[in-house]
Chains A and B, each alone.
Chain A
């Protein structure tokens, strides 16, 4: 139930008057439309009624903007705007065209069937004026919502509408007065219009500038709203959690680290970059392990690679990272994707361990790292000593992938 009568963005055919009314009154939209059409056929009052509502009932978006919560309004407007361009431009036209044809048919039917003499000199111009008005108003609605996109097309149809109205009015006037007087009248009208323009121009300009300023302020507000929403969802929640867990340093570190990662992604991630690359997948794996174990893992990647052929090296890397954070602490990961191969290095600064002393039943290193890489046609080497442990993984790219890899690097 809507408490304010507005013209909705969706479900409109011409200007959304019927849709808005239906929503406001809680009636099926078909009834309202039928009613308006019936009123129109009855005496033409339906058209006047429609036009009146079109002028005075605000667009849904305008209403939202003037309503209480400006930040939410801004966000909503941005979200909703793209939906309705097509419907207004496409359907509105078809409907107006249909109405015009119907009108012509009705008039013709009246003339032929009932034998009523039609004053074509009157009906023609009036119809043209109405058409022009409809055209111009329709464009106003679209212009308002779309901003600069496709503006020239709309302005030219606006001008067309204006021309139609003027031509219609002139034709009407020509029916009443003689040619000489018409010219004189045109001249006078021109002078008056010029005077009005002279007076009104600064006001119009100012209004225009205000509107522009408002639009840009709105854009800033929208961005702020988005950032605020993100900060609220993530940072504030984390800060609350951190305060709750102030007694357990490991939890605090883990929370802070996870939040840092999230914020970093939000701030620095290029959204146009393709996802699912080696960088992303390795980063995701590292993030999950960080969350579970509370040890930082720094991932540096060079080059780019995608595809399921990376799975073995990623799984092996995961195992190596897990071993690192379990037994040694912070881990440094470096991955390099070249056209012919992918290499991943997982290094920690733990005490190291004796490779040969690993019992045969411990599958971690032997199976998940070395075995997995060898089955995939790659190699895994483990170098361990006082300075820590480094797992070196090397996986050649599949033969047909050489070219793709090359392209991946360019992209």
Chain B
């Protein structure tokens, strides 16, 4: 990797976790340029240092109580230069979906290995989306798994290909493995995943609302 290291800000209210994560990240590719422990400090730090990627905990004290989603929303004008990768112990649907809809480019859990999180950070820095199997599962659950041929709005439906990619990710496939399985390039898989992320962020489809409502979101 001969590119400049990815500049990262770690936002988490637990100092122990920040320290651990900092030690876990691959120092040759990632440079931690800032840390913050609550919403206000995070927004300030991000505006000051303008990192490439913010590793953002979902549950944060401070601000208006909106946690990670509030940070992402408050830094919206910095996009797409500053990208967010949500990292959390929570796998509750509302947490995941809230932070993704606030603009995060991906979601990983805190039990992720150092190598994996470094990889995810670089992927997000490169403009891609990072989906964990669980996030893919949420997407499939929210958008429905049936292939419906015609829909009014493009945003309301995942294409058959996108569904397939989501399924493979939910099954634990890497992008590379998914590409091999579907006989397409890794680049194409990344495009599909980014499209799904965009739909998840922008879609105001009825089903997503209902699905979220059932789980107490929105």
Interface of A toward B, CB cutoff 8 Å: 264, 267-268, 270, 296, 298, 300-303, 332, 334, 336, 338, 345, 347, 387, 390
Contacts and interface: CB of A to CB of B under 8 A. Distances in A.
Contacts of A332: 133, 171-172
A338 B146 contact: yes
Interface in B126-157: 133-134, 136-137, 140-141, 145-146
B121 to A, nearest CB: 21
Interface in B152-184: 167, 170-173, 177
Contact of B177 (A264, A302, A387): A387
Contacts of B177: 387
Contact of B136 (A296, A300, A390): A300
B90 interface: yes
Nearest to B210: A410
Contacts of B140: 302, 336
Contacts of B90: 267-268
A366 B37 CA distance: 53
Nearest to A387: B177
A336 B167 contact: yes
A332 B173 CA distance: 9
A410 B171 CA distance: 23
Contact of B170 (A268, A296, A300): A300
Main secondary structure of the interface of B (DSSP, over half): loop
B91 A264 contact: yes
B47 interface: no
A267 B215 CA distance: 14
B92 interface: yes
Contact of A270 (B133, B145, B215): B215
Interface residues of B, number: 20
Nearest to B111: A296
Contact of B137 (A267, A268, A302, A338): A302
B145 A334 contact: no
A334 B173 CA distance: 11
Contacts of A336: 140, 145, 167, 170
A267 B167 CA distance: 27
B133 A301 contact: no
A267 B173 CA distance: 28
Given A270-B215, A336-B140, A345-B171, A300 B133 contact: yes
A175 B206 CA distance: 73
B165 to A, nearest CB: 13
Nearest to A390: B171
A384 B134 CA distance: 23
Contacts of A264: 91
A16 B145 CA distance: 60
Nearest to A301: B137
Given A267-B90, A298-B133, A300-B170, 13 more contacts: A268-B90, A296-B111, A298-B134, A301-B137, A302-B137, A302-B140, A302-B141, A332-B172, A334-B171, A334-B172, A336-B170, A345-B172, A347-B172
B94 to A, nearest CB: 9
A268 B92 contact: yes
15 contacts: A267-B90, A268-B90, A298-B172, A300-B137, A300-B170, A302-B137, A302-B145, A302-B170, A303-B141, A332-B172, A334-B137, A345-B171, A345-B172, A347-B172, A387-B177
B141 A334 contact: no
Contacts of B146: 338
A299 to B, nearest CB: 9
A253 to B, nearest CB: 11
State the 4 A-B residue pairs at the shortest beta-carbon distance, nearest first. A332-B172, A300-B137, A334-B171, A347-B172
A345 B173 CA distance: 11
A74 B137 CA distance: 40
Interface in B191-218: 215-216
Contacts of A303: 141, 145
A338 B171 contact: no
B171 A347 contact: yes
Nearest to A339: B146
B180 to A, nearest CB: 9
Given A268-B91, A298-B133, A302-B137, A338 B170 contact: no
A334 B170 contact: yes
A278 to B, nearest CB: 12
Among B141, B177, B215, which residue has the most Cβ atoms of chain A within 10 A?
B141
A267 B136 CA distance: 21
B145 A300 contact: no
Given A264-B91, A300-B134, A338 B145 contact: yes
